[in-house]
Amino acid sequence: MRVGVLTGGGDCPGLNAVIRGVVRKGVQEYGYDFVGFRDGWRGPLEGDTVRLDIPAVRGILPRGGTILGSSRTNPLKEENGIRRIKENLAKEEVDALVAIGGEDTLGVAGRLADEYGIKVVAVPKTIDNDLSATDYTFGFDTAVNIATEAIDRLHTTAESHMRVLVVEVMGRHTGWIAIHSGLAGGANVILIPEQRFDVDQVCAWVTSRFKASYAPIVVVAEGAMPKDGDVVLKDDSLDSFGHVRLSGVGEWLSKEIERRTGKEARTTVLGHVQRGGTPSAFDRWLATRFGLHAIEAVRDGDFGKMVALQGTDIVRVPISEATARLKTVDPKLYDEVGVFFG
Ligand code: F6P
C-alpha cells in the first residue's frame, strides 16, 4: 500500500505531529510506503511530491508549520482538476490519501471521496476550532495559550496607564479563541462573530471598569461585527490571492471607545503569531492520536471518513458531517461568561 499525505489551508501547530503519527504507524506496523504532496491540493493537482519516510519525520513533533507546505488551492475550481488529480495519483501509484485540513480542504476531500471515488481519510485541523463533529481541533489549544499570555501581559500595561486595551484575536466566523482566551485571561469584554455587539454597551462596560479603578481589556474576534458599524467594517473584498481580508475591527473599536468614553485606548492585533511556533502538549497529544487513527482507517479501508475527538475517544465520522456547517459558540456559553463583563 502506498499512501499520499497532504496538508491544506492555513497552517496550524500540530500538523507535523499528525504527519509523524501517520507515517510512523504506517511504516512500522503496516509496512506501508508514503509520498508527501506539497502545498495542499496543489501537490496532487500538479504532481508535486516530496519524500516521506521515517527519516523525513524524525524530530518534527515539536515543530510548528508543516513540512509538506500548505495552500488554499481548490482543485474543484481548476480546469480538469479532478482528472489531473486522478492522473497524478495513478502516476505516483498512490492507493489512498490522508488529507489534513480545515473546512475548505476537507470540503474538497469529502467531495473527492463521495462523488469521484478517491480513497481519502481526513484529519481535522484549524486553530479556530470551528469544525463540526469534533470536540476540538489541534492548533486551537496552542492559539488560546498564546492569546491568553498576551492578555496577561496587556493587563499590566493597561493598568499602568489606565488605558483600554483592545485585543483582536483570530476567528473569522466563530469566537472560540476569543471566548476561551478571554475567559482564561480575565478580559472584561469578549466580542464574537456569532453575536453582533452594541458599541454603547461595550462603552458602558468599559466605563464601569474604570469606575472600579481598573483598566479594561476588550477581546474581540476578528470577525465580530458591531450592530451599528456595518458600513465601516463590511469589506469582504478578495485580495489578489483570492483570500477574504477582514478589515480591522480592533482598531475601529478602539477609536470608537476613545470617541464615546473619552478614555485612551490601544489595540493589539495578535494575527498570525497565534498560528506559529511549537504546539502545546495537548495539541501534540491530539494531533498524534489523530494521525495514528487516520492510518488505521486507511488500513480498514474506511474511506470518506474523518477522525474526530468526541469526549476522550477518537471516532470516525463521514467527512461531510464535519464540513456541512460550522461549529459556532453556543449562546448559552456566551451568556455564561457575560457575568464577568464590566
Ligand atoms: O486558520 C484560520 C484562520 O486562522 C482565520 O482565523 C483567519 O481569518 C485566517 O486563518 C487567516 O488566514 P491567512 O491570512 O493565512 O489567509
How large is the ipTM? 0.95
Question: 222 among the known binding-site residues?
Answer: yes
Residue type at 181 in one-letter notation: S
CA distances from 58 to 14, 63, 286, 329 (A): 14, 11, 18, 37
Cα(64) to ligand 1 centroid in Å equals 15
CA of 158 to the centre of ligand 1 (A): 27
Work out which ligand 1 atom sits closest to the CA atom of 171. Answer: 6
Which segments in the chain show pLDDT lower than 70? 229-247
Say what the pLDDT of residue 245 is. Answer: 56
Q: What pLDDT is attached to residue 76?
A: 92
Give the ligand 1 atom nearest the CA of 143: 4
1 appears as a binding residue in the annotation: no
Q: How far is the CA of 77 from the centre of ligand 1 (A)?
A: 20
Residue pLDDT, tens place only, 223-243: 999 997 654 555 555 555 555
Q: Please state the pTM of the whole predicted model.
A: 0.94
Distances (CA, A) of 337 to 15, 164, 295: 31, 20, 39
List pocket residues of ligand 1, CB cut-off 6 Å: 10, 126-128, 170-172, 222, 243, 275
- Rounded CA-CA distance 160/215 in Å is 8
Options 128, 130, 141, 283, the catalytic residue: 128
Q: How far is the C-alpha of 272 from the C-alpha of 292, rounded, in Å?
A: 28
Question: What is the Cα–Cα distance from 227 to 230, expressed in whole angstroms?
Answer: 7
Whether 313 is catalytic is no
Name the DSSP class of 217.
E
What are the tens digits of pLDDT across the range 299-324? 999 999 999 999 999 999 999 999 99
Enter the DSSP assignment of 279.
Answer: P
Sorted by sequence, the CB contacts under 8 Å of residue 94 that are 6+ apart come out as 2, 3, 4, 35
Task: Report how far residue 190's alpha carbon sits from residue 220's, in angstroms, rounded to the nearest whole number.
Answer: 6
Task: Provide the pLDDT for residue 178.
Answer: 98
Q: For residue 273, say whether it is annotated as part of any ligand binding site.
A: yes
Query: Is 296 annotated as belonging to a binding site?
Result: no
